[in-house]
Amino acid sequence: MTVAGGEARLLLGGPIASEIRLAVAEDVEAYRKRTGRSPGLAIVIVGRDAPSMVYLQQILKSCEAVGIASRLVEIEGEATERLVTDAIAALNADPTVNGIIVQMPLPPSIRLRAVIDAIDPAKDIDGIHPLNAGLLRLGYDGFLPATAHAAVEILRRSGIEIEGKRAVVVGRSAVVGMPAAFLLVRENATVTVCHSRTRDLEHHVRDAEILVVAAGRPGLITGSMLSPGVVVVDVGINVVGDTIVGDVDFESARHVASAITPVPRGVGPITNALLLAHLTRAAYAQEQAQPAATSSDARRPPAPDPSVTAAGGRAAPTRGHR
Ligand code: NAD
């Protein structure tokens, strides 16, 4: 376990993402045979924020590769909250749309909560609606935020033991830090959540056997803060000059950690693949729930997620990506 002075094992997202995408492509094909159409994803765009456009283009490309029908829904002109929520309501009612993603960040004039609340929880494939957040909090199966799901999935699929470990999550956002912490609790880790007001971050970080960092601060965590043998999942994506770096100083950390995710090529590719998996799962769940699934008042939770069981046990890894 201890690799002080050695080299950490690299936890690469690419091979795991390929495995997930392969399973998704099979599910998509089976869905198409059954229903005569492809599962559909809609991405709502409010203003063209350059970095998130790159991310969204990647999602569109991945959808095409696995046979998911995806489209951008652009709010033209001056976007008002009403225009955005009306567009979402139309997508909720559209039976060819199985999943909805809204580009973030929203312009400051539009309330995040109003937009999130407008999404049908059954189509909320990135787990941002309060119903899905609540299901996760209570240990039931709903849609998980894809990035938090990816941070834990990379550990599980790399064969890293989570149960009983001291896990520290740096970051408490609703979309990454907190859901990652809840997922780790589900996997029976003992979890500490650190944030911008945490006193003596280093003390907590040094205690970690598993460290998940999602702070959006390049170089926040250095090798000298880590315990030898720690497993590090770096969720951060920061543009520094013309490179992308994580929140962990990779060069110093890799000589102390036993395993570490690089940035890029770590968590990111899995996030993208899991979104496709969530979308396919939504399509199947809506098909099974016909005709209620096509109604915008169909405020029901999605079907169980086999990849992370409610009891915290592990599902079979073969098809457990959904
Ligand atoms: P956020 O800004 O919403 O939250 C950041 C969190 O970090 C906050 O809870 C804050 O309290 C904490 N924090 C900030 N400075 C800190 C410090 N000095 N010490 C301790 N805690 C501190 O960000 P987010 O949306 O949760 O995203 C976090 C990071 O993950 C960003 O770099 C983002 O780009 C990245 N991200 C990655 C993916 C992916 O697929 N890998 C997806 C989404 C976001």
Ligand 1 center from residue 6 Cα (angstroms): 29
User: What gap in Å lies between CA 144 and CA 163, rounded to an integer?
Assistant: 20
Report how far residue 142's alpha carbon sits from residue 154's, in angstroms, rounded to the nearest whole number: 19
Strand ranges across the sheet with 40-45 = 69-74, 40-45, 99-102
pLDDT at 21: 98
pLDDT in tens, 162-208: 999 999 999 999 999 999 999 999 999 999 999 999 999 999 999 99
The per-residue pLDDT for 316 is 31
Give the Cα separation of 282 and 98 in Å (integer). 6
Q: What is the pLDDT of residues 9-32, one digit of tens each?
A: 999 999 999 999 999 999 999 999
For residue 291, what pLDDT is reported? 62
Residue with tokens 């990111």: 268
Pocket test for ligand 1, best of 144, 195, 201 (most atoms within 8 A of CB): 195
Residue of 190, 229, 172 whose CA lies nearest to 206: 229
Which H or E run includes 169?
Answer: strand 166-170
Cα(177) to centroid(ligand 1), Å: 7
Which residue has the least CA distance to atom 18 on ligand 1?
Answer: 196
How much distance in Å is there from the Cα of 98 to the middle of ligand 1? 28
- Dig out the tokens for 98 from the structure: 């199985």
Mean pLDDT per segment of 10 residues, for the chain of length 322 residues?
72 98 98 97 86 86 97 87 97 98 92 97 98 96 97 98 98 97 98 98 98 98 98 96 96 98 97 98 94 48 44 32 28
Q: What pLDDT shows up at residue 310? A: 32
- Pocket lining: 219 vs ligand 1, CB cutoff 6 Å: no
pLDDT for residue 303: 53
Can you tell me the distance from the alpha carbon of 273 to that of 291, in angstroms, rounded to the nearest whole number? 28
Beta bridge partners of 194: 170
Closest CA to 131 of 302, 280, 292: 302
Which pTM was predicted?
A: 0.90
Q: Is the beta carbon of 198 within 6 A of some atom in ligand 1?
A: yes
- Torsion, Cα 265 266 267 273, to 10 degrees, reads 50
Under 8 Å between Cβ of 191 and 225: no
Cα first-last separation, the chain: 30
Position in ligand 1 atom list of the atom nearest CA 220: 18
Return the pLDDT at 55. 85
Dihedral angle computed from the Cα positions of residues 145, 150, 152 and 158, in that order, rounded to the nearest 10 degrees: 160
